[in-house]
């Protein structure tokens, strides 16, 4: 497996892959420090290489925690993407998981959930039945999404947030840590608190 991104998130993904017996072959980064990631060389990314990128002989995971950067990098690359799902995660066989998605330790994804591409389901997050999670979203540690929740592309659900059933959260939103979402949230909104209220909307 190849990784794109050599920050803290790449360490977690490397740990998951190693636990599954998968070797990280090479790591790319837009700001290579010269250091190695667990004895793996870090090479310059596509921006440094002037827009060119080598053909890879194994799948790639974009190991970048920032949703917008993950989306930008994916738009620049032509690659086959792998997945990293820790062995302690509980994934229903009736759920679908998109390419490039990472599911961390102790997370739960229930039946008929649809997880998009390049999504990050973080430590012990709970995704209940019939959820739809858009591409590039991040569901933070211990967040709980009840049944029939929809989360738009690029949205970040903060640590410990709770979303009640049948709520729709728009694209590129930010839901604050510990928020309790009981109403639909529009695109590009930031919502915080219990109950969550929208404090700003990007135009």
DSSP string covering the chain, please? -EEE--SHHHHHHHHHHHHTT----EEEESS--S--BTTB-EEE-TTTTTT-----SS-EEE----HHHHHHHHHH----B--EE-TT-EE-TTSEE-TT-EE-TT-EE-TT-EE-TT-EE-TT-EE-TT-EE-TT-EE-TT-EE-TT-EE-TT-EEPTT-EE-TT-EE-TT-EE-TT-EE-S-B-TTEEEETTTTEEEEE--
Q: CA-CA distance, 85 to 111, in Å (whole number)?
A: 16
Q: Which residue has the tokens 């590039």?
A: 136
CA distances from 29 to 2, 72, 154 (A): 11, 13, 21
What's residue 53's pLDDT? 79
pLDDT at 63 exceeding the cut of 70: yes
Which position among 9, 105, 129, 138 bears the catalytic label?
Answer: 129
pLDDT at 95 exceeding the cut of 90: yes
What's residue 38's pLDDT? 67
Percent of the chain residues topping a pLDDT of 90: 81
Burial of 39 (0-12, 13-18, 19+ CB in 10 A): exposed
Percent of the chain residues topping a pLDDT of 70: 94
Decide if 129 is catalytic. yes
Per-residue pLDDT band at 46 (split at 50, 70, 90): confident
Domain boundaries, the chain: 2-76, 84-194
Q: What number does CATH give the domain 2-76?
A: 3.40.50.20
Residues 104-114, mean pLDDT to the nearest whole number: 98
For the whole model, what pTM was predicted?
0.93
Per-residue pLDDT band at 88 (split at 50, 70, 90): very high
pLDDT tens digits, 164-184: 999 999 999 999 999 999 999
Per-residue pLDDT band at 49 (split at 50, 70, 90): low
Token pair listed for 121: 């389901």
Phi, psi (degrees; rounded to nearest 5) at 16: -60, -50
For residues 77 and 103, the model is more confident at 103
For residues 175 and 40, the model is more confident at 175
For residues 116 and 48, the model is more confident at 116
Q: CA-CA distance, 68 to 153, in Å (whole number)?
A: 10
CATH class of 84-194: mainly beta
What's residue 30's pLDDT? 84
Mean pLDDT for the chain overall: 93
What's residue 39's pLDDT? 74
């Amino acid at each position: 497996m190849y990784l794109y991104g050599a920050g803290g998130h790449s360490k977690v993904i490397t740990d998951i892959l190693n636990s599954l017996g998968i070797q990280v072959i090479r790591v790319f980064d837009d700001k290579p420090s010269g250091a190695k990631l667990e004895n793996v060389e870090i090479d310059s990314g596509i921006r440094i290489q002037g827009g060119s990128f080598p053909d890879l002989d194994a799948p790639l995971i974009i190991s970048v925690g920032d949703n917008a950067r993950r989306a930008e990098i994916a738009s620049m690359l032509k690659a086959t993407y792998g997945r990293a799902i820790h062995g302690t995660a509980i994934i229903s066989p009736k759920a679908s998981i998109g390419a490039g998605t990472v599911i961390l330790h102790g997370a739960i994804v229930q039946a008929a959930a649809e997880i998009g591409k390049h999504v990050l389901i973080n430590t012990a997050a709970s995704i209940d039945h019939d959820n739809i999670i858009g591409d590039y979203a991040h569901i933070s540690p211990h967040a709980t999404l009840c049944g029939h929740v929809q989360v738009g592309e690029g949205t970040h659900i903060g640590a410990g947030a709770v979303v009640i059933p049948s709520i729709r959260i728009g694209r590129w939103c930010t839901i604050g840590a510990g928020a309790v979402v009981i109403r639909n949230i529009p695109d590009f909104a930031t919502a915080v608190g219990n109950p969550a209220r929208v404090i700003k909307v990007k135009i």
